[in-house]
Amino acid sequence: MLNLIGQADQPPAIPLNLVADYAGASMHGVIGILLALMARQHTGRGQYVDIAYLDTTVFLLAATPLLRDYFFNGSTCERGEGALGGSYPYYTTYETADRQLLSVGCTEPWLWANFCKAIGREDLKRFALQPAHHASVADRDAIQAKAEVQEILRQKTRDDWFEYFKDKNVWGGPVYTVEEMFEDPQVQARKMAVEVEDPRYGKVRQAGIAIKLSETPGQLRRLGPSVGEHTDEVLQSLGYDAVRCQELRQAGTVA
């Protein structure tokens, strides 16, 4: 997967979001546990859930057309190629007048048509996504079209373009810094940054809860415990009295 991320003439771009850890093993781990619990409800039997980094990372490629084409006819894309690799004008990032970046994700032909109309270049509609693009290199005309779009988008700032496109029914948006992300009204409305009161540090900002449940919503009530904070509580729940807990702590057995 790493070999596919980045520009064609550059080394692979290191993904900051730890794809194999979170989107791969962790996500599939949760799904596997839930499947095993559901199976136990029907069969009354538990089972071992085997989740491997290798398996889950390979499976993530199934979310793209890459594996379909590879299994069907052996074709594949190199880094920076294909419909989702950034080589075609409808799915890439562009630099704006203030040297910021604007992302464009018009993978549906009608979205690309709206985009072309919005920038006054309806003649570029013919460069909309085609099924063959998923396993092909952008040709000279598509590369030229991308360059022409780039020249147009350099005429205004990133935020000016974002405001302009809001009522044009296109998919695109500013590439944010971390600070800008948490200033975004939608991020704030979705409560993706919350303050938690902690006796040690006072108010501490934390990432909010991404899964919103209508009946039993989650809540961040505290930070993680300090080392040994719950040792006595856990040991006493296992039948150890206060004297024995102290002995274990003095012996260095527990924190």
Same domain, 124 and 138: yes
Amino acid identity of 26? S
Is 185 a domain residue? yes
Buried b or exposed e, range 16-30, using 16+ CB within 10 angstroms: eeebbeebbbeebee
Q: What is the number of structural domains in the chain? A: 4
Is 70 a domain residue? no
Same domain, 212 and 247: no
* pLDDT at residue number 16: 77
Domain that holds residue 237: 226-255
Instruction: Determine the Cα angle at 89 with ends 140 and 23, to 5°.
Output: 125
Each of the 255 residues of the chain gets a pLDDT tens digit; together they read 788 888 888 898 888 777 888 888 899 999 999 999 999 999 999 999 999 999 998 998 888 888 888 888 888 888 889 899 999 999 999 999 999 999 999 999 999 999 999 999 999 999 999 988 988 889 999 999 999 999 999 999 999 999 999 999 999 999 999 999 999 999 999 999 999 999 889 999 999 999 999 999 999 988 988 899 999 999 999 999 999 999 999 999 999
In Å, what is the CA distance from 67 to each residue of 23, 63, 73, 135, 220?
Answer: 18, 8, 10, 10, 39
Query: Which contiguous run of DSSP H or E holds residue 101?
Result: strand 101-105
Same domain, 58 and 120: no
User: How far apart are the C-alpha atoms of 98 and 205, rounded to whole Å?
Assistant: 30
User: How far apart are the C-alpha atoms of 242 and 248, rounded to whole Å?
Assistant: 10
Same domain, 103 and 131: yes
Same domain, 48 and 114: no
Is 71 a domain residue? no
DSSP letter (8 states) at residue 24: I
